[in-house]
């Protein structure tokens, strides 16, 4: 007997999980694009070519900070093979991902702000000619003192990186938030501990280098294909910069060869190829070199942190005061959000009744920092887990128990007014501890060998969009063809995480067709309803809910004529495996395709739409927009390692990681995300650093920027915890970013268990370990800064 | 993407012909290329822009490994994959096979040759950068610039000798055959190198390295230890090759220790070698030798990890290499 399902859900019902067995959701199916990827059929942006296409190269600044006195392109313009040269004044309108940080230009106008900032661009018949032409563009600069650190940015200057009334010197943004009286909390505590940490900057390192192709058509419409995670935001920025009606601009996100947040901003090279296509009336393409990808950056901010926590002897926290100092690089990017994120989710993991956050982001003459997997929450999670391990030791409590006892309550509201829903963290902690035999091993392994336990939480989609609006965050449109095929249109962007697959699985599940019968058309601003983009772990939850709604709106249209034909009451009909059948007498059935034909005859052309908007957040204070989410995912990790005391070398022996994913839509994809997170986390913990010397990126290559290879990857045991969250499609939460968080702090904590030294900064490299063993490793520090008074905190909105 | 500069490509059949072609061009005009795994990336970054490349892949009888009465001969165009998997080398000179296996990654070893490995350019993270990057720091002495950023007051370049096989071939007292346009000569591998990051090879620019001769092992045991951040792809940031010949009672009769990636040429730790002769490889003598052997290492801040760390590790690695040999 085929598996059965519930009847059509009433339209207004919340898209929660179904009671009856699922036939596709939860199964380890292949990704819908897997075969095309393996066969080399997938067309990434750089694979696209058009007749008469020309190539673009950008001339970049060799100085970290300089005023542009003159740009002379006359020699380049007359070179054979050069079709057009572009300078900043031709695209004078600024853009940026956040409405509050419209501080970038397609090409620099008056100043360059880091080595790699572009000043001019060329379109030519081939890349060689374009590159040669760059040499014939003369740029005259007045070199300015460069600002390469947080401390330098805080010093007085006559020449701030951005001269603006809204900005004080090089301080991009300073914030203070206070929830409850932390001083009172510290007074109540038995132990108060304060200390500083440093998290080094690092970058995404996607395999695919960014590429974009623009075609300005004879019809006056602009089409841009790009490796972007956020076609909707590129659409808005592009129309603004080109001064074109958005209705004539179309952005298509190609499948991304990895993104991790590095392709979430609108980029100057996208604007540049578009304008060059207008100038040349030809398709114009750019593919960045690896060095240029390092210059696009938007990666992890280097953050200096200070944390003070009061705890009682029983391990409960009475108050926490957290300060962060972010080295933002040359532009705003997502920086204001990144800044708030360094303070937002502390309270979502453990119970913290009183909480104060002070944060500061400065501009420096380096490529701009932005969102990297775990956006802004990775650095504080590193600090807090290390800090908590020391607190546990101080009160002689097991690091497992101190965590277990503090886990936030399900369906509670945090001190900073974030609404928590399901919480699977206790189970995560217990399962990893059990599988790894943590209780037995901790403090009992032979010297040189160590073990750590850590925990974390993450958003399942930002609760608010990047620009203020009340529109849905994701939309799905379905169309049926007479052969039984279903096409799902959605703005979501597959960056390798499998969002196209998730869309297909959900539509197939809901309509009872095979996954192979679903076609997905995604990430095209002219063809697909808006989805805000592949960031903040929002796609499965938001697109998934939108897809469920669209499918459930379509179902009655199909079932109604089928019921008539089969002469079965509509409530008794079920849909699965390409059939519509009577649940009581399954042999009474018809093919899905037949039902489509009947339905089209009855209702006319068939289609439906669905959309999703996250629940309203509770906080109303300034800054409350960062942190709310439909629900939070939870992770816990145990890491065991060995330290060679003669060399400082660390060998990760094993990682056990449990993740509360709500419900895995596809456990294979979920585990893939967890393993990928472990890999990325270990890179950040052990070796990755985006560092500068003489004002320029020290190692902008995949050979010299050290990131683990797969032979460096330890064995990983992944455990999926199901909590069936009422907000998620079938109960699902995110799994793309959360599992990265607990991995990084676990490394220094396990090193302490192994050899008794604390390393309070990343990367935890062998030279630092040796220094620490010799007692010569300096402790991280934070600068002095007068933070503004706390923002006012009005009463919360009603719980929804 | 980064593209190769334009060049003409010749593929001669004999080493003599190749040498003549090189001799027919001015110094910067023509270069030999074997697997291209070192040269092509450098050309993309414009460290070299030769107008002519003399490809060595068509040279007759230029590949393979053969045993004879004097030892073993490895032809210059033998790939590192062949070296790593060769049964003769694995049986009698496992350290050579090991060093080859530790070079970069499998795909590059399929193309990269042992001749090319002995001749690779020295490395420095102020130098192994693209043209635009180097321009932004106003270049450096090794290419297009005036001063050395690593040691600004130094008259010489300190780029790092980075071949993994060179130190092993040196501790085994290997020699190589160089074919020039007019003469053929055979020189110790050791004398190929020169302590200068720019002028690091003592062979003439028109000489082709056709063969490597490793003498009979005669009970000589050798090993190679490599320090690098990751277990694949990375160049050495320290390499220690050591070889020991002992009498029946374990007394050291001959010792060789060569450090690489800590100077512009592989450096022989002669004092430590001398110290070990006549001693037994006890823990005390191993430590003593290591304490002497690491001194000639002069790592500077131009590769991965700190130079102080690399210097310290030189001592640890020498001790570990000797300890491994002491176990027989
Ligand atoms: C990512 C990466 C990682 C690497 N890691 C390592 C590493 O870990 N260890 C290491 O040792 N190397 C490493 N290499 C360098 C290189 O791959 C190897 O050294 C390889 O053996 C070079 O051989 P080839 O045949 O490719 O040399 P080529 O690139 O063809 O030549 C290198 C130089 O030698 C000259 N030359 C080549 N053959 C001859 C000959 N027969 N006679 C005279 N001159 C000759 C060429 O003119 C050129 O100047 C790495 C390279 C890359 C790109
Ligand atoms: S050692 Fe000095 S001269 Fe040599 S490559 Fe490096 S910076 Fe240039």
Atom of ligand 2 nearest to the CA of B154: 2
Q: Where are the beta strands (DSSP E) in chain B?
A: 8-10, 30-33, 52-55, 65-68, 71-75, 175-179, 184-188, 208-215, 221-227, 238-246, 252-260, 267-268
Q: What is the residue with the minimal CA distance to atom 43 of ligand 1?
A: B208
Would you say residue A19 has pLDDT above 70? no
The predicted-structure confidence for A457-494, as pLDDT tens digits, reads as follows 999 999 999 999 999 999 999 999 999 999 999 999 99
DSSP classification of residue A50? -
pTM (predicted TM-score): 0.96
pLDDT class of A10 with cuts at 50, 70, 90:
very low
Domain ranges of chain A: 45-144+204-296, 303-464+619-773, 471-612
DSSP classification of residue A202? B
With beta carbons under 8 A apart, name residues in chain B contacting A711: 230-232
The whole-number average pLDDT for the span A104-120 is 98
Would you say residue A664 has pLDDT above 80? yes
With beta carbons under 8 A apart, name residues in chain B contacting A712: 230-232
The predicted-structure confidence for A199-231, as pLDDT tens digits, reads as follows 999 999 999 999 999 999 999 999 999 999 999
Q: For residue B36, which ligand has an atom nearest its CA?
A: 1
The whole-number average pLDDT for the span A712-718 is 97
What is the percent of chain B with per-residue pLDDT over 90, rounded to a whole number? 97
The whole-number average pLDDT for the span A418-442 is 98
Would you say residue A4 has pLDDT above 80? no
Query: In the numeric block, which tokens belong to residue B289?
Result: 């030798």
pLDDT class of B28 with cuts at 50, 70, 90:
confident
d(CA B70, CA B214): 8
Whether residue B188 contacts residue B252, with contact meaning beta carbons closer than 8 Å, is answered with no
What's residue A363's pLDDT?
98
CATH number given to A45-144+204-296: 3.90.1170.50
What's residue A20's pLDDT?
59
Q: 3-class SS at B267?
A: strand
Q: Which residue of B lies nearest to A697 if distances are taken between CA atoms?
A: B133
d(CA B57, CA B73): 18
What's residue A706's pLDDT?
97
d(CA B177, CA B15): 11
How confident is the prediction for chain A on average, in pLDDT? 96
Atom of ligand 1 nearest to the CA of B108: 17
What's residue A321's pLDDT?
98
Report the alpha-carbon angle A240-A109-A340, nearest 5: 65
CB-based contact A209 B305, cutoff 8 Å:
no
A303-464+619-773 and A471-612 share one fold = yes
What's residue A468's pLDDT?
92
Q: What is the residue with the minimal CA distance to atom 38 of ligand 1?
A: B116
Q: Is A644 on the interface with B (CB under 8 A)?
A: no
Q: Which residues are CB-neighbours of A763 under 8 A, at least 6 positions away?
A: A200, A202, A684, A685, A686, A687, A688, A689
What's residue A166's pLDDT?
80
Q: What is the residue with the minimal CA distance to atom 1 of ligand 2?
A: B158
Q: Residue by residue, what is the 3-state secondary structure of A268-313? A: HHHHHHHHHHHHHCCCEEEECCHHHHHHHCCCECCEEEEEEEEECC
The whole-number average pLDDT for the span B212-226 is 95
What is the percent of chain A with per-residue pLDDT over 70, rounded to a whole number? 97
CB-based contact B234 A703, cutoff 8 Å:
yes
What's residue A69's pLDDT?
98
CB-based contact B230 A695, cutoff 8 Å:
no
**Residue B147 burial by Cβ neighbours in a 10 Å radius (0-12, 13-18, 19+):** middle
Estimate to the nearest angstrom the gap between the alpha carbon of B296 and the chain centroid. 17
The predicted-structure confidence for A542-588, as pLDDT tens digits, reads as follows 999 999 999 999 999 999 999 999 999 999 999 999 999 999 999 99
Classify domain A303-464+619-773 at the CATH topology level: Aldehyde Oxidoreductase; domain 4 (3.30.365)
Query: In the numeric block, which tokens belong to residue A285?
Result: 């393409």
ipTM of the complex: 0.96
CA of A699 to the centre of ligand 2 (A): 15
With beta carbons under 8 A apart, name residues in chain B contacting A209: 1
Other C-beta atoms lying within 10 Å of the C-beta of residue B235: 22
Question: Nearest CA of chain B to the CA of A131: how many Å?
Answer: 10
CB-based contact B125 A712, cutoff 8 Å:
no
What's residue B29's pLDDT?
96
User: What is the side-by-side strand order in the sheet with B208-215?
Assistant: B65-68, B71-75, B208-215, B175-179, B184-188
Would you say residue B98 has pLDDT above 60? yes
d(CA B289, CA B271): 8
Q: Is A63 on the interface with B (CB under 8 A)?
A: yes
CATH number given to A471-612: 3.30.365.10
CA of A292 to the centre of ligand 2 (A): 23
- B187 bridge partner residues: B176
Query: In the numeric block, which tokens belong to residue B84?
Result: 């790593």
Looking at the partner chain, which of A696, A706, A712 has a beta carbon nearest the beta carbon of B304? A706
Atom of ligand 1 nearest to the CA of B235: 8
What's residue A168's pLDDT?
87
The whole-number average pLDDT for the span A598-619 is 96
Would you say residue A680 has pLDDT above 60? yes
What is the percent of chain A with per-residue pLDDT over 90, rounded to a whole number? 96
């Amino acid at each position: 007997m085929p598996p059965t399902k519930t009847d059509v859900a009433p339209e207004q019902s919340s898209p929660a999980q179904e009671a009856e067995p699922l036939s596709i959701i939860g199964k380890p199916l292949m990704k819908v694009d897997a075969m095309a990827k393996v066969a080399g059929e997938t067309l990434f942006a750089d694979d696209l070519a058009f007749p008469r296409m020309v190539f673009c190269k950008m001339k970049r600044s060799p100085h970290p900070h300089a005023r542009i006195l003159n740009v002379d392109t006359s020699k380049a313009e007359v070179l054979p093979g050069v079709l057009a040269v572009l300078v900043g004044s031709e695209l004078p309108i600024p853009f940026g991902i956040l409405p509050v940080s419209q501080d970038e230009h397609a090409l620099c106008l008056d100043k360059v702000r880091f080595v790699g900032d572009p000043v001019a661009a060329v379109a030519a018949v081939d890349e060689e000619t374009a590159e040669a032409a760059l040499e014939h563009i003369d740029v005259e600069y007045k070199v300015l003192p460069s600002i390469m650190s947080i401390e330098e940015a805080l010093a007085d200057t006559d020449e701030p990186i951005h001269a603006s009334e809204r900005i004080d010197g090089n301080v991009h943004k300073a914030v203070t938030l206070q929830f409850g009286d932390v001083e009172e909390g510290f007074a109540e505590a038995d132990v108060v501990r304060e200390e500083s940490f440093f998290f080094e900057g690092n970058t995404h390192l996607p395999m695919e280098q960014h590429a974009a192709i623009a075609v300005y058509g004879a019809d006056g419409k602009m089409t841009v294909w790009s490796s972007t995670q956020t076609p909707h935001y590129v659409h808005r920025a592009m129309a603004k910069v080109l001064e074109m009606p958005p209705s004539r601009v179309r952005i298509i996100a190609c499948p991304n060869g990895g993104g991790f947040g590095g392709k979430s901003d609108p980029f100057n090279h996208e604007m540049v190829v578009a304008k060059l296509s207008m100038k040349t009336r030809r398709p114009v393409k750019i593919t960045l070199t690896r060095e240029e990808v390092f210059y696009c950056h938007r990666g992890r901010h280097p953050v200096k942190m200070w944390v003070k926590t009061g705890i009682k002897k029983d391990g409960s926290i009475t108050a926490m005061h957290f300060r962060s100092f972010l080295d933002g690089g040359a532009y705003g990017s997502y920086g204001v959000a990144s800044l708030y994120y360094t303070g937002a989710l502390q309270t979502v993991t453990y119970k913290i009744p009183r909480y104060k956050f002070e944060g500061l982001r400065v501009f420096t003459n380096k490529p701009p920092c932005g969102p990297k997997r775990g956006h802004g929450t990775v650095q504080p999670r590193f600090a807090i887990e290390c800090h908590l391990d020391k607190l546990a030791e101080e009160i002689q409590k097991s690091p497992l128990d101190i965590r277990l006892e503090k886990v936030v309550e399900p369906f509670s509201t945090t001190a900073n007014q974030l609404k928590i829903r399901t919480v699977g963290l206790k189970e995560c902690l217990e399962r990893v501890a059990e599988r790894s035999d943590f209780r037995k091993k901790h403090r009992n392994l032979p010297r040189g060998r160590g073990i750590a336990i850590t925990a974390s939480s993450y958003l399942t989609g930002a609760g608010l969009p990047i620009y203020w609006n009340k529109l849905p965050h994701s939309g799905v449109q379905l169309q049926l063809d007479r052969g039984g095929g279903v096409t799902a249109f959605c703005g979501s962007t597959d960056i390798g995480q499998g969002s196209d697959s998730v869309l297909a699985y959900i539509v197939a599940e809901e309509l009872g067709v095979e996954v192979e019968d679903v076609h997905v058309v995604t990430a095209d601003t002219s063809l697909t309803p808006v989805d805000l983009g592949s960031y903040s772990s929002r796609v499965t939850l938001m697109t998934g809910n939108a897809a469920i709604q669209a499918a459930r709106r379509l179902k009655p249209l199909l079932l109604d004529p089928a019921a008539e034909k089969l002469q079965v009451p509509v409530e008794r009909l079920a849909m699965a495996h390409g059939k519509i059948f009577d649940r009581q007498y399954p042999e009474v059935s018809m093919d899905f395709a037949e039902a489509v034909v009947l339905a089209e005859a009855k209702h006319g052309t068939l289609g439906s739409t669905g959309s999703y908007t996250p629940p309203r957040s509770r906080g109303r204070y300034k800054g409350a927009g960062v942190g709310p989410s439909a629900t939070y995912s939870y992770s816990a990790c145990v890491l065991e390692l060995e330290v060679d005391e003669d060399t400082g070398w660390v060998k990760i022996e094993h990682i056990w990681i449990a993740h509360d994913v709500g419900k895995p839509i596809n456990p294979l994809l979920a585990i893939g995300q967890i393993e990928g997170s472990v890999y990325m986390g270990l890179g950040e913990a052990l070796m990755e650093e985006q560092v500068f010397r003489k004002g320029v990126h020290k190692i902008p290559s995949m050979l010299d920027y050290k990131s683990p290879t797969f032979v460096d990857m330890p064995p990983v045991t992944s455990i999926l915890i199901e909590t069936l969250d009422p907000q998620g499609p079938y109960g699902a939460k995110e799994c793309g970013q959360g599992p990265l968080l607990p991995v990084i702090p676990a490394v220094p904590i396990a090193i302490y268990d192994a050899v008794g030294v604390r390393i309070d900064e990343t990367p935890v490299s062998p030279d630092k370990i040796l220094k620490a063993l010799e007692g010569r490793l300096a402790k991280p520090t934070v600068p002095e800064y007068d933070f503004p008074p706390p923002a006012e905190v009005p009463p919360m909105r009603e719980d929804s | 993407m980064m593209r190769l500069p334009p060049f003409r490509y010749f593929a001669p059949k004999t080493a003599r012909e190749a040498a003549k072609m090189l001799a027919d061009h001015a110094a910067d005009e023509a270069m030999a290329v074997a697997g291209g795994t070192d040269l092509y990336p450098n050309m993309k970054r414009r460290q070299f822009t030769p107008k002519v490349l003399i490809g060595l892949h068509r040279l007759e009888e230029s590949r393979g490994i053969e045993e004879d009465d004097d030892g073993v001969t490895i032809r210059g165009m033998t790939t590192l994959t062949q070296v790593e998997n060769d049964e003769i080398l694995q049986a009698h000179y496992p350290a050579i096979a090991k060093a080859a296996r530790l070079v970069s990654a499998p795909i590059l070893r399929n193309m990269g040759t042992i001749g090319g490995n002995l001749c690779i350019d020295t490395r420095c993270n102020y130098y192994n950068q693209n043209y635009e990057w180097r321009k932004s720091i106003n270049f450096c002495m090794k290419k297009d610039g005036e001063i050395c950023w690593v040691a600004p007051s130094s008259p010489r370049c300190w780029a790092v000798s980075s071949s993994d096989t060179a130190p092993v071939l040196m501790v085994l007292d290997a020699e190589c055959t160089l074919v020039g346009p007019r003469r053929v000569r055979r020189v110790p591998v050791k004398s190929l190198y020169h302590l200068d990051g720019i002028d690091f090879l003592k062979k003439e620019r028109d000489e082709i390295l056709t063969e490597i001769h490793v003498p009979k092992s005669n009970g000589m045991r050798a090993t190679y230890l490599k320090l690098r951040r990751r277990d694949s792809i990375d160049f050495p940031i320290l390499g220690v090759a050591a070889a020991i010949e002992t009498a029946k009672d374990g007394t050291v009769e001959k010792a060789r220790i060569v450090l690489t990636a800590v100077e512009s040429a592989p450096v022989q730790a002669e004092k430590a070698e001398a110290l070990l002769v006549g001693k037994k490889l006890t823990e005390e003598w191993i430590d003593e030798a290591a304490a002497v052997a690491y001194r000639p290492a002069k790592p500077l801040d131009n590769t991965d990890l700190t130079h102080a760390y690399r210097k310290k590790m030189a001592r640890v690695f020498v001790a570990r290499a000797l300890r491994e040999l002491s176990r027989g």
